[in-house]
Structure 1
Amino acid sequence: MRHTGADARTTLQKGFHEPVEKPKRFYKTVETTPVDGGFGVLLDGRNLRTPGGVRLVLPTAALAEEIAGEWRAQGETIEMADMHATRLANTATGAVPNSREATAGQVMDYAASDLLLYFAEEPQALVERQTEQWGAVLLRAEEEARLSFVRAAGIIHQRQPEESLERVRQIALGLDDFGLAGLAFGAALFGSSILAIAVQRSWITAEQAFELSRLDEAFQQEQWGVDAEAAERTDRLRSEAAALERWFKALRT
């Protein structure tokens, strides 16, 4: 079954509107500090931990500062939905280490039905836009990452070369836990492992990847307009893309 950006975003949005009592802010000061193995975040002098009780140890000072900034920005209540780096760090620390193969497999699964491989059949203006913009990313993936895929038209599933899918899996496994967590999140956000790899490798920005992932949606909006609910959803997902950009930048710093 082919993943689409809409499919992935629906998955990401599950639970967004469920009523949940927000925790009150329980700390005054937020600091970063070197710790064994990396960098930590301190709330009132105490180590920030994952929901499972594991101390957060970040690989770079920049990522620790990104997370500290999220905690400093909280008001009377803690808005976890807005703390993108904190949630991703919790995943990288608490979930990915024991499920690296499964996580890499998820990235490979998105590649097997990648959004960028399914071109529209019509209208011609959309086909030309996809060919120009998606084609540039696909060409770079082939030239620089040895990822060669079969392009399809329409929604009928197209089987992809096993060697390319395995290459995607190996790219994912070649990252550390924090890089792998970001790559898996990006694949789900964009509906495309190719776009996630492009962002992780700095071929394009996450903002550019997000816009590429919604070419069809943007084209339809140009024709028929934008409703308020769609605009709100797009803004929310764009903020997730911006957070992913900062995540990978912080990992490289």
Structure 2
Amino acid sequence: MSEWKQKRFWTEATAAPEGDGFTVLLDGRKVKTPAKAALVLPTLAMAQAVAAEWDAQVDHVDPNSMSCTRSANAAIDKVAIQHAEVADMLADYGDSDLLCYRADSPQALVERQSEAWDVALVWAAEVLGARLAARTGIMHAGQDPAALTVLREKTHAFSAFELAAFHDLVSMSGSLVLGFAAALDWRPADAIWELSRVDEKWQEDQWGADEEAVEIATRKRGEFMHAKRFFDLCK
């Protein structure tokens, strides 16, 4: 039996004011989230992006083509009701941040990591007020509690919509610092993404690209770039 798909029943999708925010109307009918909550978005730009996704549907609704809609639904149905738990989970990345765990050999990789990542840690110290220390090897070594507290407070300060985007910026890159760097426009998002792949690129240079690994990295990059776009739509 084929999977049931919702048919397009509307002629026009538009953004409209709704309370303190904005919503999306399908021929005047308000869109709701999968949990049947009101789809109230923080900015007109986000509402227009979501409306454009609904307007782009042809015969049937394809959720895979509606990334902004999915992120908005996640912010309302999931993140908003467990904001503290999500923020704590993401803040925990700071104590085992990708940028802090360095190889002890070969020297070329050591230098490549240092060149790529040291500047990001300096940025975090200067802009975020949180100085994380690099370690050699893979054994966990805790970071300065004061620095982690600063990063935790900044993570908790994000709105539900920002936190939904920040989740993917951090989880896709494996780095809380890079998540903040992307959110706060330290460098272009694609350049920040490349910093998260220093180790993988090294392996590719030595042994060649693995098709499955490349496919996974491509998917993650797409999710990272979307997350940056969605974060910016919150402003």
Distance 2:228 2:7 in 1: 27
RMSD across aligned C-alpha pairs, in angstroms? 1.8
Q: Which of the residues 100, 125, 137 maps onto 1:154?
A: 137
Residue identity over aligned pairs, in percent, reads 37
Alignment of 1:22-41 (within 5 A): 23-28=5-10, 29-41=12-24
Q: 1:230 to 1:82 in 2, by over 3 A?
A: farther
Task: Count residues in correspondence.
Answer: 233
Residue 205 of structure 1: how far off its partner (Å): 2.8
Contact 1:187 1:193 in 2 (8 A): yes
**Aligned residue number for residue 66 of structure 2:** 83
Distance 2:167 2:80 in 1: 13
**Aligned residue number for residue 171 of structure 1:** 154
Distance 1:112 1:212 in 2: 18
C-alpha deviations, 1:181-217, integer Å up to 9, x for none?
2222221111111111111111123322221111111
Contact 1:22 1:78 in 2 (8 A): no
Distance 2:140 2:155 in 1: 23
Listed as ranges, the gaps of 5+ residues in structure 2 are none
Moved more, 70-79 or 105-114: 70-79
**Aligned residue number for residue 113 of structure 2:** 130
Contact 1:22 1:79 in 2 (8 A): no
Contact 1:34 1:40 in 2 (8 A): yes
**Aligned residue number for residue 48 of structure 2:** 65
Q: 1:34 to 1:231 in 2, by over 3 A?
A: same
Distance 1:58 1:30 in 2: 15
**Aligned residue number for residue 202 of structure 2:** 219
Alignment of 1:98-137 (within 5 A): 98-137=81-120
Distance 1:112 1:82 in 2: 35
Residue 82 of structure 1: how far off its partner (Å): 3.9
Contact 2:166 2:231 in 1 (8 A): no
Q: Which of the residues 191, 200, 217 maps onto 2:183?
A: 200
Contact 1:206 1:244 in 2 (8 A): no
C-alpha deviations, 1:69-101, integer Å up to 9, x for none?
222333444332343222221121122222221
Distance 2:18 2:69 in 1: 18
**Aligned residue number for residue 139 of structure 1:** 122
C-alpha deviations, 1:218-245, integer Å up to 9, x for none?
1211222223322222221111122112
With normalisation by structure 2, the TM-score equals 0.91
With normalisation by structure 1, the TM-score equals 0.85
Letter in 2 for 1:26: R
Moved more, 65-74 or 84-93: 65-74
Residue 22 of structure 1: how far off its partner (Å): 6.3
1:34 aligns to what SS in structure 2? strand
